[in-house]
Amino acid sequence: MRAGIGAAVLGALLYNLAIVIQKTQAERAEASGVGIIGALWRRPAWLLGIALQLAGFALHAYALTRASVTVVQPIIASGIGFVVLFAGPLLGERPHAREIAGMAMSTAGVCLLIARSDPLAAMERIAVVDLALAVGTAAVLAAGLLGARTFGAIRSESLRAALIGSAAGVGDGMSDSMNRLAGAWLSPQAGWIPPPSMGIAAIALLFAFGFVGFVAAQNALKLHRANTVVPFILTAQMLVPIAIGAAIYGQSLPHGGANLAGWLAALALTLGGIVTLSSSAPVADVHALPESELGDEGQSI
């Protein structure tokens, strides 16, 4: 359990350090559109950011095989606080009272979740039809959220941001859920071990949902303010794996009225910290697309 928690914290740190490093390099790139990738590829610091993201991904996968998803996902989501910490030395942006309050809230929430967490439950046998139903439901939900955003009757920018941000979070959350299933195959612990065909499918779905989440997030950040969409992305990314874990992986939620109430309160405190941090200047700056990726009218080239 402790190894999983430690891996989740370190993974969250590396994820967000990579984002800040890549932001510093993207701001200096002279190319635009797709060509920016070629320009960034020649920058060692940007490649370091990619390496840190991959290391964070590996630690995240390991954490999901050693600790409950009800603890790992909130830790990963609360890692947004590391953006504020790294923005000081790397971007010259010192944290203000709002950022400090957000970090305190999310840290307190995560500490309460850890204190009330149960040991990692053994992976239960997963029927192919149950996995297919979960994957299909998530795909339909993500597509529905993206489709609803383009519905002409929806004119509220806040609601549009919520829809596309939630779609990105569903994609990222399902990618994390498949990460857990792939981990049970590649690094088996107590409980059922998925067959190779399901393990390979989990890896393929991990990348497929991850791609959907990435594309939706980039469009969300291009079209809407970061402090509007980031809370929806992180909230959905945190809750989807918890729901999948409880539904088909055998990772039950806290039992008993007092335990469940305490877990929900800790989760609410964590989410409050995330929302507060999302509205901070460093987070909005880091999650904004660089101007070199935008055309004269703010459209992606």
Q: Residue 250: which pLDDT band, with cuts at 50, 70 and 90?
A: confident
Q: Using an 8 Å Cβ cutoff, are 136 and 208 in contact?
A: no
More confident position, 221 or 79? 79
For the cut 50, the answer to whether the pLDDT of residue 300 exceeds it is: no
Question: What's the pTM?
Answer: 0.79
Angle between helices 80-91 and 69-78 (to 10 degrees): 30
Contact partners, residue 7, CB within 8 Å, separation at least 6: 59, 60, 62, 63, 66, 67
Consecutive H or E run containing 10: helix 2-26
Token reading at 251: 């990772």
More confident position, 297 or 43? 43
For the cut 70, the answer to whether the pLDDT of residue 227 exceeds it is: no
30 class by beta-carbon count within 10 Å (0-12 exposed, 13-18 middle, 19+ buried): exposed
For the cut 50, the answer to whether the pLDDT of residue 295 exceeds it is: no
1-53 pLDDT, tens digit each:
788 999 999 999 998 888 778 767 766 666 544 455 666 777 888 889 889 98
Please report, for residues 191, 265, 277, the alpha-carbon distance to residue 70 in angstroms, rounded to integers and kept in the order given: 18, 13, 21
| Most confident by average pLDDT, 116-125, 206-215, 281-290 | 206-215
CB neighbourhood size of 296 (10 A): 6
98-126 pLDDT, tens digit each:
878 888 888 888 888 887 777 777 888 99
Phi/psi for 152 (5° steps) reads -60, -30
Per-residue confidence (pLDDT) for residue 293, from 0 to 100: 46
Q: What is the mean pLDDT of residues 136-151?
A: 91
Q: What is the average pLDDT score of the chain?
A: 82
CA gyration radius for the chain?
A: 19
Q: Is the dihedral of CA 207, 227, 283, 78 positive or negative?
A: negative
Q: List the domain boundaries for the chain.
A: 1-120+254-293, 122-251
Of the candidates 94, 72, 98, 97, the one whose C-alpha atom is nearest the C-alpha of residue 85 is 94
